[in-house]
Amino acid sequence: METNKTNLYKQTQQAVERLDEQIIGQERLVRRLVMALLCGGHLLVEGAPGLAKTRAIKKLARIVEGDFHRIQFTPDLLPSDVTGTEVFRPQDGSFNFQHGPIFHNLILADEINRAPAKVQSALLEAMAESQVSIGRETLPLPDLFLVMATQNPIEQEGTYPLPEAQLDRFLLHVEVGYPDKSSEESILKLVRTEQRSAEQQSNNYPILKQREVFEIRKAITELHMAKEVECYIIELILESRKTGNDAGKWLEFGASPRGTIALDQCARCSAWMDSRDFVTPEDVQSVAHDVLRHRLILNYEAHAAGIPANYIIDDILQNVPAP
């Protein structure tokens, strides 16, 4: 049993290292993408175009032997463009359901905030329930199912902001920025190498089978978490709901119990990815911003003063003493 666990630790590290080799300068995005996969959650990524978001999830799909599909969200997109539709067969007068792109293992929902409410609602059911409803039928999605949605922070005209209920369905909200100078140089070398050799055999083989992903998910839930660390997670969430403290004056609503669950899952996964079988307060702190950023609903005063969610989370972490 311990030998198998050690092998799973190594495979996790190999997956992260492989992605870091192919997605240069975006270590945080890589780590959070793997974390979402291993926790069975979904990922919301916000960043400018050209920061390797699409490349990251495509490479991850190859690593876990999953099939990948990209959906470009636009204002004229229909729910059936995501879920699929009934097609009439004139040969026998019947209708045959044609599966849409949502029936893949890894989905890139590109510029999700450009889609109207009905499309966002169809995606919400798929993310929350791992199923799609077509008429009177309910069709299950693949067991291994991950949505990585992107938002472009530059252009906001003609967009449909995601409702709070849908934001809360994302396990993590990651902000990605530009790589540094040395990373830019490495990116150029990598692209030139790939252009010279279109098919990189050494990077084509999978590292994690889907069966092993599910084994890791189970192992993560069994990691040791001291009662003090568990109480620390709860206190952080409760602190986000207080109205009398410094952070509370900027908040309309704090994190929901789904935020408590997500903070627990991600802290455990952080320990796993560091090859530890116990969770520390540092694990909780390392994921707190990405877990809570989209779950805190700021009030009018915060928006008017330009107070970001990251500032409020810093304040919450400062106010709650770590064990």
Final residue before a domain boundary, out of 203, 232, 250? 203
d(CA 260, CA 229): 12
Give the model confidence (pLDDT) of 221-241 as tens digits: 999 999 999 999 999 999 988
φ/ψ of 78, rounded to 5, equals -110, 155
The answer to the question of residue 137 being in a domain is yes
Same domain membership, residue 47 and residue 190: yes
The answer to the question of residue 217 being in a domain is no
Q: Considering its fold, how many domains does the chain have in total?
A: 2
| % of the chain with per-residue pLDDT over 70 | 93
pLDDT at residue 106 is higher than 80: yes
pLDDT at residue 6 is higher than 90: no
Q: What pLDDT does residue 213 have?
A: 93
pLDDT at residue 7 is higher than 80: yes
The DSSP H or E segment spanning 193 is helix 181-196
CATH of the domain at 285: 1.10.8.80
pTM, to two decimals: 0.89
Q: What pLDDT does residue 141 have?
A: 92
Q: What pLDDT does residue 152 have?
A: 76
The answer to the question of residue 213 being in a domain is no
Q: What pLDDT does residue 88 have?
A: 74
Instruction: Please name the residue that has the structure tokens 């934001």.
Output: 167
CA distances from 170 to 118, 136, 174, 259, 268 (A): 18, 27, 10, 10, 17
For residue 188, the Cα-to-chain-centroid distance in whole angstroms is 27
Give the model confidence (pLDDT) of 275-300 as tens digits: 999 999 999 999 999 999 999 888 88
Contact status, residue 45 vs residue 53, Cβ threshold 8 Å = yes
Q: Which domain holds residue 145?
A: 2-203
Q: What pLDDT does residue 121 have?
A: 82
Q: What pLDDT does residue 89 have?
A: 77
Contact status, residue 270 vs residue 283, Cβ threshold 8 Å = yes
Buried b (16+ CB within 10 A) or exposed e, 269-287: bbbbbeeeeebbbebbbbb
Final residue before a domain boundary, out of 144, 174, 203? 203
pLDDT at residue 272 is higher than 90: yes
